[in-house]
Amino acid sequence: MIQRTPFANALTYGVMIFGFLLLIGPFVVIVSGASQTFQQVNSIPFSFLPQDRLLENMSAAWTRASLGTAMLNSFVMASLVTVGKVALSALTAFAIVFFRTPLKGFFFWMVFITLMLPLEVRVVPTYAVAADLFQPVRLLISAVTGFEVSVDWNLLNSYAGLTLPLIATATGTFLYRQFYLTLPDELAEAARMDGSGPIRFFIDMLLPLSRTNMLALTTIMFVYGWNQYLWPLLMVTDPQYKTTMMSLVALLPSDNGTPDWNVTLAGSLIIMLPPLVVVAVLQRWFVRGLVATEK
């Protein structure tokens, strides 16, 4: 647009730089704090200049909070949650969109209502189910037949416990549903005319077509899985299954100990890095997934 607006342009640049300081500034503080010595990080005023001790601090944090196991566990958990969510949402949306069945609406509303039941408000009973997975089944059987069955399976301290309760997803299902609805009707028609059944149609046509969709969903769900805090906290008591969000506590300087915030910051930097890399590298898909899931 050809219009000379020197004042507004200066203001625009000012706003953008201010936004940069506001949103990226904390990263700068974290990185420079993490690269300083114990004395430097506690100095007043704080120096924004990065020093050369980043790797030392990171390895100190790594051993202090045993980040090796935690990073591995978080990675496994985030990957399983991602794969599970993508697979289940593709399947459920397929059932909702491409079939003429009276159960369609039922499935849709079943999934929809989960939006109104966040983990925080049903945390105790969900924990109870995870601690005794067959409790509902047992109660049902004894209510219907009068028999007491004793099957026990608890999910505490296991990858299944970390991931299964988080895999059901309304947003993912709706994202896929939205995508399927944009496909032309002729596609399924042509597939049917050529004699393909629904399963073949799903594998040979829908899956390849939904590649972009899948990538978008994968990025947001990986970040979601990695950043889970409350659920792992309840599920895991065994240090072997600790996730990174749980090691945050171990990184904090103790109340009466030395305030070595340089190590704390270095540790939190390590924990922040994987989702940050995903968002930075795959930003196009991440943004697409974000905007699409909310529609």
Partner 1 sequence: MDKRAAFRSWWLPSLFALPQIILILLFFYWPAVAVLRWAFTLEPPFGGAAEFVGLANFREVFADPLYWNSVGVSLAFALCGTLATIFIGLVLALAVDRQLPGSAPFRFLYILPYAIAGPAAGMAFRFILSPERGLMASVNASFPDFWNPAKYGSHALILVIVVFAWKWAGYTFIFLLAGLQSVPRSLIEAAAMDGCGPIRRAVDIQIPMLAPTLFFLLVIMMTEGFVGADTYGIVARTTDGGPNHGTDVMVYRIVEEAFRGLNYSGASAQSLVLIGLIMIFTFIQFRFIERQVHYK
280 near partner 1, rule: CB under 8 A: yes
Among positions 47-76, residues that touch partner 1 (CB under 8 A) are none
Joined tokens for residue 259: 């305030």
Of 72 and 117, which has the nearer Cβ to partner 1? Answer: 117
Nearest to 82 by CA among 220, 189, 211, 185: 220
Interface pick for partner 1 out of 118, 153, 204, 238 (rule CB under 8 A): 118
Among positions 14-43, residues that touch partner 1 (CB under 8 A) are 15-16, 19-20, 22-24, 26-27, 29-30, 33, 41-43
Residues contacting 103, CB < 8 A, separation 6+: none
- The CA distance from 46 to 69, in Å, is 33
Among positions 71-100, residues that touch partner 1 (CB under 8 A) are 88-89, 91-92, 94-100
- The CA distance from 272 to 274, in Å, is 6
221 near partner 1, rule: CB under 8 A: no
In our burial notation (b when 16+ CB lie closer than 10 A, e otherwise), range 12-33 reads eeeeeeeeeeeeeeeeeebebb
Interface pick for partner 1 out of 39, 52, 125, 145 (rule CB under 8 A): 125
Of 144 and 249, which has the nearer Cβ to partner 1? Answer: 249
- The CA distance from 195 to 189, in Å, is 10
Interface pick for partner 1 out of 9, 63, 142, 258 (rule CB under 8 A): 9
Among positions 153-182, residues that touch partner 1 (CB under 8 A) are 164-165, 167-169, 173, 180-181
Of 30 and 156, which has the nearer Cβ to partner 1? Answer: 30
250 near partner 1, rule: CB under 8 A: no
Q: Three-state SS for 30?
A: helix
